[in-house]
A and B are shown apart, each in its own frame.
Chain A
């Protein structure tokens, strides 16, 4: 019995492919979990999703031209950011609608390119990720992302708190909200660029939003919330890989599913704790 459990637990990691996936998922979980908490409180969840989708034509374009995906993704992000900024100024239709139109257009363009006969096979990994196919370079990038995010969020922690708490009086506390917003968006862009290669265009948002939403239900201060969110992201990521191995489901989708499940569990636990506290 114990023998079977041990085998169930250790078998997946016998393959180097899966060990690399484990490392990638853990690194992206740490990054996405910690950054996601700030995205929630700066109401950037929709922006994160929009940018992730809108950078698709950049990724596909790079794949078609044989350029590094990172380069294509960066170009795609830049185009998306400029298009969103310009569309926001369009009269009559309103900012929300304008952003939706830009994102849908860019995503559609990306899909159109991806389905063209000239496109090399395997482009579905851009949409759904290829966590089992990560290269050493991908792992190094994910590790670099953890270091950069940890450093930036550590240094900016109190300024982010000031702006998130009350944007209107931030200037009086010596903090420029615009500068903090830009810093956070740059970190978001970096996280998207790195994570999109492992988790794919459609699933990357899960690691940014779901663990943070779950942690928000159980933590009362920002730092514990970030740590809880990172832990939830890593654990859910590992659970997703187990699911993928044993149930032979798609790895990226399994990880995303486990992340969302973690949110639901936290929600139920939080709700039950609340009812107990009131009883």
Chain B
């Protein structure tokens, strides 16, 4: 990680979309080494579109996008086939393929890297289990291990906490903290406002960039602009009235874009 520059990616006035029509505009933010940015927004608000632009799959329609280092992505686990005949180690090893020309197979060093990544995410003893037999949280961590084998300084995580129980979510969050501490930059898409307050920066999207900054930008006004009017205030002795939770339908996941 030591070779990576201080700023791992930067967007300035970025607009992206499909077929020349922008679905997300005015995005300006930067990701530094060791930073975790929470990306909040409703389904269809542009989170996935932004990720696709950051991965180089969509060209900017306007603005500038500076991508000096390699990125890896941790997709939603629902996208992978559970009946596919692969072990956790097979999936982690897929991360090595990106660094090899097409005629080369992953070798012994790649296998060792895949084992080390599985150990790092706490799944050393499940390496030979079928991917489909693992729990949702374990599958998510296998996909994180795959991104680690890719060894990119930037990791994009597409709603990694979806469907996880509290214990699994806590474990994944600790893992992400550790990756950031090692100097990686993380973009974490999600719906959990309370969790986003614990990240270093938050990026709020709803067809445009609503806000970017430290967790204190998550005011009630910003959240209402991000999620439309669908914000339910809770009057809570600990958090006060400004702290809000979202209605449960935001935790249903049709994939946006």
Q: How far is the CA of A174 from the CA of B104 in the complex (A)?
A: 13
Q: Could you mark each residue 66-80 of chain A with 1 if its beta carbon is under 8 Å from any beta carbon of chain B, else 0? A: 000000000000000
B105 touches A164 (CB 8 A): no
Beta-carbon contacts of A148-174 to B below 8 Å, as 1s and 0s? 000000111111011011101101111
**B75 at the A interface (CB under 8 A):** yes
Residue A250 lies at the interface, judged by CB distance under 8 Å to chain B: no
Known contacts being A165-B86, A165-B91, is A171 close to B81, with CB within 8 Å? no
Instruction: Tell me whether B55 is interfacial, beta carbon within 8 Å.
Output: yes
Q: Which of B55, B96, B105 has the largest number of chain A CB atoms within 10 A?
A: B105
Contact status B87-A168, CB under 8 Å = no
Bound together, the chains give a CA A173 to CA B131 distance in angstroms of 18
Q: Is there contact, CB below 8 Å, between B97 and A221?
A: no
Say yes or no: A159-B90 contact (C-beta < 8 A), given A168-B75, A169-B79, A172-B72.
Answer: no
A162 contacts across to B, CB distance below 8 A: 94, 97
- How many angstroms between the C-alpha atoms of A179 and B101 in the bound complex? 13
Chain A 129-154: CB-based contact to B (< 8 A → 1; otherwise 0): 00000000000000000000000001
Do the beta carbons of A172 and B55 come within 8 Å of each other?
yes
- Chain B residues with Cβ below 8 Å from A275 are none
A51 to chain B, nearest CB (A): 24
Nearest to B73 among chain A residues (CB) is A172
Question: When chains A and B are docked, how far (Å) is the Cα of A161 from the Cα of B103?
Answer: 15
Task: Establish whether residues A174 and B86, one from each chain, have CB atoms under 8 Å apart when the complex forms.
Answer: no
Which residues of A lie under 8 Å from residue B80 when comparing CB positions? 165-166
Of the residues B55, B72, B90, contact of A161 by C-beta under 8 Å: B90
**Would B98 and A172 count as touching, CB distance under 8 A?**
yes
CB-based nearest A residue for B103: A155
Indicate if A245 sits at the interface (CB-CB under 8 A): no
The CA of A41 and the CA of B81, in the complex, are separated in Å by: 10
Write out the residue numbers on chain A whose beta carbons fall within 8 Å of the beta carbon of B72. 172
B86 touches A158 (CB 8 A): no
A173 and B91 within 8 A (CB): no
Interfacial chain B residues near A219, Cβ < 8 Å: 85
Does A220 belong to the interface (CB within 8 Å)?
Answer: yes
Contact B99 A221 (CB under 8 A): no
Is B211 an interface residue when CB atoms closer than 8 A count as contact? no
Are A165 and B73 in touch, CB under 8 angstroms? no
> What is the chain B residue whose CB lies nearest that of A215?
B85
- What does the 1/0 interface line of B59-102 toward A look like (CB < 8 Å)? 00000000000011101000111001111001101111111101
Chain B residues with CB under 8 Å of chain A are 55, 57, 71-73, 75, 79-81, 84-87, 90-91, 93-100, 102-103, 105-106, 130-131, 146, 150
A-B CB proximity, top 6 nearest: A174-B98, A166-B80, A169-B75, A173-B98, A222-B85, A172-B73
18 new A-B contacts, CB < 8 A, other than A162-B94, A175-B98, are: A41-B84, A154-B105, A155-B103, A158-B93, A158-B105, A162-B97, A165-B84, A165-B91, A165-B131, A166-B79, A169-B79, A173-B97, A175-B97, A220-B87, A220-B130, A221-B90, A222-B86, A222-B90
A-B contact pairs, 7 of them (CB 8 A): A161-B86, A166-B80, A169-B73, A172-B71, A172-B72, A173-B146, A222-B90
